[in-house]
Amino acid sequence: MSKTAKIKFIFITGGVLSSLGKGIAGSSLAALLLGSGFTVRLRKLDPYLNVDPGTMSPYQHGEVFVTTDGAETDLDLGHYERFTGIETRQSDNITTGRIYSQVIAKERRGDYLGATVQVIPHITDAIKHFILAETDVEGSSADFIIVEIGGTVGDIESLPFLEAIRQLRNDLGPSLTLFMHVTLVPYIAAAGELKTKPSQHSVRELQNVGIQPNILLCRCDREIPKEARTKLALFCNMKESCVIPAYDVKSIYEVPLKYYMDGLGTEVMQYFNIDPAARPTDLSKWKKVVNIIKNPEKEVTIGVVGKYMELADAYKSLSEALTHGGFPHKAHVNIKWISASIFQEERGKIANELKNIDGILIPGGFGERGAEGKILATQYAREKKIPFLGICYGMQLAIIEAARNIAGLKDAGSSEYGDPEDLVVGLMTQWDKDGNKILRSKKEGLGGTMRLGSYPCILTENSLAHKIYKSSTIHERHRHRYEVNIHYKSLLEKTGTIFSGMSPNNLLPEIIEREDHPWFLAVQFHPEFSSRPLNPHPLFKSFIGAALSYANKK
């Protein structure tokens, strides 16, 4: 415990129902603390039994966020990075599945010396060890560690995590631990009033496991009257100033400003005996971002042709990165979500769906569903000279489109869905040194078997990519199993495809462009994971700029 003696821990729990925004609350608090000159780390405890979300459908849990060190994590880590600019690590997200896997592995090795392995103390000790590990920020000990506990208070699977943070309060002491609870204050239209009873019950549920919240964040869609806040403070055993509204806002980037105005940063600092007057909070950069969001000078529409259109969180980092790309241009980015499957069902829909689009983006994804529709959309963007950005699977399908429609390889495809004659995209174990198909010796598992994390890429001088990045070497995050077959490079180059980014060993294509197109670029990596509202990713900045130019010429 000595290494963490001066670190202040803030634990965030949620009640009443899920999706109340614990991740945004923690991220926004981190932005306030950073604005006051503190250093902060955020981490999340997820109660599900999966080892990580890597094998879960996006419909189950939203997008899978990838850290630079190659961890597949919960999407809230993306919020952590966007609000703080601090790269998260594998050590910032853990699941019940990983905790139990570690404990069972130790039991099998005999590490517990024949003891009966139980939830308390073995599981809770493992959780506490995770919370207290790697508490540095850029080599120095963090001032604050903000820990979000996933799920909802009262869920059976959350109990070991709640017990672990209850124990940490005793281990570290109240002066170094703060409990913050996010709850719902619903408006009942028939009664014409906000109801505090759900929040009271939620806090009581938390108290039943031995945790008294110090601050209550109340999600609501309208102002909470003073009498309601007084009532909540009375029944939840806290000061009225610690009952803080969490209003619905137009943009998540308004949240730090709202929390600041309602005194969240002040209450946190006062709890830890820090004088708020001595640590003024600078939120000027956030105010500029919000001003652009509320008062844009331009507007542009991007068509995202993808697979998981029914759930916005499936492409959370992507939608945020597109929004960020508009900030340097003081532009609002409209996103039109288009299911790729409709193009396969009826080709005539392409022109109708994309006629008012200023840019086309093909995002990452897996499997056969929608793939042919994405290829048709890519062809449309190439032929109509519409700005185009392909990401991960989007790059692979752009290669297939060029191979089929320009190089004349009518059966070109990917082994991800089918057995094409020309294997232009496949697992590296599926082609020999000459690029010919070979049989794989065994089937791999799905979890953790991809190319994950940050890898270097060498850019070609004078290429569009080089002009955008203004660098010869870049590092970007990957999440994929399949690769473009390098043995088709020469043939594809004859069609006007430029391989402007390659792995250092020159074997893996990372970026392609079209020499006959004003802005056509596709990348094997995921640039959206690295974009920030205060520092938009250069690819998205350039893509939105190209879309604005296209819109002006239309």
Say whether 392 is catalytic.
yes
Element containing residue 470 per DSSP (H, E):
none
Say whether 107 is catalytic.
no
Q: Is 276 exposed, middle or buried (0-12, 13-18, 19+ CB in 10 A)?
A: middle
Helices within 327-451 (DSSP H only): 341-345, 349-354, 371-384, 393-405
In 3D space, the residue among 478, 519, 477, 479 whose CA is nearest the CA of residue 498 turns out to be 519
What's the token pair of residue 372? 């042919």
Contact of 143 with 33, CB cutoff 8 Å:
yes
Q: How many CB atoms lie within 10 A of CB 201?
A: 16
In 3D space, the residue among 145, 131, 160, 182 whose CA is nearest the CA of residue 49 turns out to be 160
Q: Which string of DSSP letters, residue by residue, matches 185-213?
A: --EETTTTEE--HHHHHHHHHHHHTT---
Contact of 378 with 520, CB cutoff 8 Å:
no
Q: How many CB atoms lie within 10 A of CB 440?
A: 12
Residues in the chain: 554
Q: Where are the beta strands (DSSP E) in 140-289?
A: 140-141, 144-149, 177-184, 187-188, 193-194, 215-220, 243-247
In 3D space, the residue among 289, 293, 297 whose CA is nearest the CA of residue 534 turns out to be 289
Catalytic residue (choose from 122, 478, 526, 537): 526
What gap in Å lies between CA 276 and CA 263, rounded to an integer?
A: 10
For every residue of 88-104, which 3-state class applies, written as one string? CCHHHEEEHHHHHHHHH
Catalytic residue (choose from 72, 81, 254, 528): 528
Contact of 482 with 414, CB cutoff 8 Å:
yes
Catalytic residue (choose from 218, 236, 242, 392): 392
Catalytic residue list: 392, 526, 528
